[in-house]
Amino acid sequence: MLKVNVNLCVGCALCAQVCPQGAISLIGGKAEVDTSKCDSCYWCLEACPRGAISELIIVSPEELRVTVSTLKRQTDDIIKRINRLATKV
């Protein structure tokens, strides 16, 4: 799901011009995305000169726990490899 940071949006409408789905409107000088029309091509993210559009990824606590645990395991593995290499030098 896309979110427009209204504090960054300057209402230039570049995002609306590139959107192939006509999913972006300027309301009160700020971009708004109609998520029911959006097909997630992300052209608007690339077009915005202010970085005002970002994607919100909603994850459950369980998905977050698994991701953090996997990253921790991978980090521990990398540290072990670095330590092994350091002892050989």
Distance, CA of 33 to CA of 42 (rounded, Å): 12
Interaction of residue 77 with ligand SF4, rule CB under 6 A: no
Using the minimum distance from each CB to ligand SF4, give the nearer residue, 49 or 82: 49
DSSP state letters, 28-64: TTEEEE-TTT-----HHHHH-TT--EEE-----HHHH
For ligand SF4, the closer CB: 29 or 70: 29
DSSP annotation of 23: -
State the Cα–Cα distance between residues 16 and 31, nearest whole angstrom: 8
By CB under 6 A, residue 32 contacts ligand SF4: no
> Which is nearer to ligand SF4, 20 or 68 (by Cβ)?
20
Residues forming the site for ligand SF4 (CB under 6 A) = 2, 4, 9-15, 18-19, 21, 23-24, 31, 33, 38-44, 47-48, 50, 52-53
